[in-house]
Chain A
């Protein structure tokens, strides 16, 4: 080993004693650094692309599926309650909605499970959630069977199901959501870790390339060595491309997150809060629990603290502050297009309709009539609100996933660019130096 080093050192010294030898030394150093740049650029761009693809195809859809799961469970429960309250002659429409929502929830759990791969934390959360949802479905079925058989005590099953969904399932969903969010952040942070070293190597190569040109200028008194200038431009272009693509794709992800995912989270919060209010209202109706009724009204005020007047709705449409407090106002504040504002305005209208039927429900003293209101207008107006939220969620999901897709698109040619531009630059630099070497006999 020591002898190899000494041989190399001897040869380098020997080469450095003549001008053509010094040219050759510059050639070797420049070419090696440009090769290192190509390797580092290729590795960084490959890691960046695969990280971005993982976010696009995996972490992003997992986040979306988790939020969809939240809304499917809320919808399933609202429908199950309406079906139950319709009595022995069950409302088939509500039952159908329940079955569809539950099937969707199961599918979304499967989707999450398939997408997360080897992630024990998320798998554990999902397993707990799956067990809780199965228990919940069992309670709904028990309540349904008992209800249809006309056996007293059927209400107990429904109340237990509602409580299970409001506590255990809600906690499991929160854990799952937190785990999937952490996973997204982890993937996002890891995505561009190779870019900085690649840029440092490239900057070093650029410095050496410029120094080589300066040296060549001093030796040859020729201002421009065209192949080396082209090599420099290619290298600068490559570095610029890598940095710009990294920043722009990162911006796309941030934008998708701000415009899409944060909106998904907010809309999903609106949906679950509204659902919780409805569930409390239902339990209060079944058990005549006044405290539960008060809680339902308080939760409803979290969604919107005051009445949605036509003026407030119009303000939302026009992009002005509606002068109301609550989650729906938060949604109006983050809506950044006419379409989104129109969708939030629709949520306001439909929420107010639901609140009006809830007020009518609370004012009804006859239990049978109250049930009729709960199954009829209250269920219909809640469904209307819920579907309008769902519509907003769909738009947000598309926006989020489109943003991630755009981020991935920006990196499409990056690997080729990061690999080939430094290689071509290396060829240019070698060619340029060889031209000068050829001038010596």
Chain B
């Protein structure tokens, strides 16, 4: 038995033991997890992915659904029609972005995590325990963390090394730039170019950033606003530079090492998607077992190796180093494991009140078209 397999089995056994020792009754049904697409390691030949290993370890069948396509859309099509009317969503774990989690919490749509079944809660990176909307992370457990920064193709920038978001507004990139369709990230990054701090965002500073975006879109400086389609844009050469999500670019770099990703000189936007148990889910105990399982550093390291986003789980770097090979190289990646100096340049978007955020979102949607 290899060391990795031994560790994985030990972790699975521990996780299973923890499942049995909890105060909640065991869940007899199928655990339903709703997540973003391509956001977990999958079965690869003889090597089972996280879902299969969880099923083996706990005996709990899992229906893992990769249909979470966006936060606004999820609110409109899933959460409001169900949770908003006091009905269950049909899922036991959902993975919205942090600001959407805050909004769900505000509306009472999230259950408290049964911590007695999640001994691996001790592995939550401290930075994610201090969210003002859930201090101590009693209602959420981060899934993956990303940085929104600049990606570019040096061959298409004339060899110029891009360093700052303000450069994306320069004429030499006219019509060859895209920005992400997540309002808080794009607006936050533009705010940084204007000397405003997104972690202390106000309606006025956000509106100033929106004005800049509006005029850049009207002038043709910005070609379009995208989800992860910036990957194809960079690959095809349609885009010379864009705002991009760190994990997607690190994955792209395996095939296109020439594509660069930088945390802008002004600062980058940090975000995370987080696991929550929606209200009225009957499978809270199984959901807790799932959270415990994916917070085992051995399992979390496998997910990191596959999705290449920053892990919020303590101990992942050490596990990647132990694994050796490509995983060990990931352990040295400064985007996956930013040092203290880099962390100081990363900002979370400040939560504004729901009405203001809705107004900003409406205006942003008008600009993005």
Interface residue A252 (Cβ < 8 Å from any Cβ of B): no
Known contacts A93-B343, A388-B129, A391-B137; A350/B122 CB under 8 A: yes
Is there contact, CB below 8 Å, between B135 and A394? yes
Is the pair A93, B344 in contact by a Cβ cutoff of 8 Å? yes
Nearest CB in chain A to that of B267: its residue:
A92
Interface set of B (CB-CB < 8 Å, partner A): 21-23, 114-116, 118-119, 121-122, 125-127, 129-130, 132, 135-138, 197, 199-200, 340-341, 343-344, 347
Q: Is A91 a contact of B344 with CB atoms below 8 Å?
A: yes
**Please, could you name 12 A-B residue pairs with CB atoms under 8 Å apart, sorted by A?**
A89-B341, A91-B343, A92-B347, A318-B21, A339-B115, A343-B115, A346-B121, A375-B340, A383-B126, A387-B126, A387-B129, A394-B138
Residues in A neighbouring B136, C-beta threshold 8 A: 387-388, 390-392, 394
CA distance A222 to B122 in the complex (A): 76
Evaluate contact between B344 and A92: CB separation under 8 angstroms. Answer: yes
Within 8 A of B (CB), among A382-399: 383-384, 387-388, 390-392, 394-395
Measured between beta carbons, the chain B residues less than 8 angstroms from A96 are 199-200
User: How far, in whole Å, are A337 and B122 apart by their CA atoms in the complex?
Assistant: 18
Q: How far is the CB of A4 from chain B (nearest CB, A)?
A: 66
With a cutoff of 8 Å between Cβ atoms, the chain B residues found around residue A392 in the complex are 136
**A92 with B138: CB separation less than 8 A:** no
In the complex, what distance in Å separates the CA atom of A384 from the CA atom of B123? 10
Residues of B within 8 Å of A391, CB to CB, are 129, 135-138
Q: Which residue of B lies closest to A392 (CB)?
A: B136
**A interface residues, Cβ below 8 angstroms from B:** 86, 89-93, 96-97, 100, 317-318, 337-339, 341-343, 345-346, 349-350, 372, 375-376, 380-381, 383-384, 387-388, 390-392, 394-395
A-B pairs, top 9 by smallest CB distance, nearest first, are: A391-B136, A384-B126, A387-B129, A338-B116, A338-B23, A349-B122, A342-B116, A383-B126, A342-B115
CB of A100 within 8 A of CB of B132, answer yes
Across-interface contacts of B121 in A (CB, < 8 A): 342, 346
Bound together, the chains give a CA A244 to CA B347 distance in angstroms of 56
The residue on A at minimum CB distance from B197 is A92
Report the Cα distance A260→B271, complex, angstroms: 35
Docked pose: A349 CA to B315 CA in angstroms: 14
Tell me, rounded to whole Å, the shortest Cβ–Cβ distance linking A313 to chain B: 9
In the bound complex, how far is the Cα of B130 from the Cα of A394, in angstroms?
13
Instruction: State in angstroms the CA–CA spacing of A100 and B133 once bound together.
Output: 12
Q: Are B135 and A376 in contact (CB under 8 A)?
A: no
Chain A residues, Cβ within 8 Å of B21: 317-318
Least CB distance, B326 to chain A, in whole angstroms: 27
Residues in chain B near residue A89, CB distance under 8 A: 341, 344
Nearest residue, chain B, Cβ from A100: B132
Nearest to B131 among chain A residues (CB) is A387
- The answer on a CB contact under 8 Å between B344 and A383 is no
Check if B122 sits within 8 Å of A346, measured CB to CB.
yes
- The answer to whether A317 touches B119, judged by C-beta atoms less than 8 angstroms apart, is yes
Question: In the complex, A93 Cα to B338 Cα: how many Å?
Answer: 14
Q: Which of these, A317, A339, A380, A395, contacts B126 with CB under 8 Å?
A: A380
> Complex formed: what's the CA distance from A106 to B72 in Å?
34
Q: Are B115 and A384 in contact (CB under 8 A)?
A: no
Most buried by A among B21, B136, B200: B136
Across the interface, A376 reaches (CB within 8 A) one of B116, B132, B197, B340, namely B340
Distance in angstroms between the alpha carbons of A92 and B23 in the assembled complex: 40
What are the residues of chain B within 8 A of A390 when measuring CB–CB? 135-136
B270: shortest Cβ distance to chain A, in Å?
Answer: 9
Q: Are B116 and A381 in contact (CB under 8 A)?
A: no
**Which of A93, A345, A350 touches B127 (beta carbons < 8 Å)?**
A93
In the complex, what residues of A have CB within 8 A of residue B122's CB? 345-346, 349-350
Q: Please indicate the chain B residues that have their CB under 8 angstroms from the CB of A376 in the complex.
A: 340
Shortest Cβ distance from A385 into chain B, in angstroms? 8
Of all chain B residues, the one with the shortest Cβ separation from A86 is: B344
In the complex, A394→B122 CA distance in Å?
17
Contact A339:B344 (CB < 8 A) given known A97-B130, A349-B122: no
Q: Whose C-beta in chain A lies nearest to the C-beta of B200?
A: A96
Residues of A with C-beta under 8 A to B135: 387, 390-391, 394
Q: Is the Cβ of B23 less than 8 Å from the Cβ of A339? A: yes
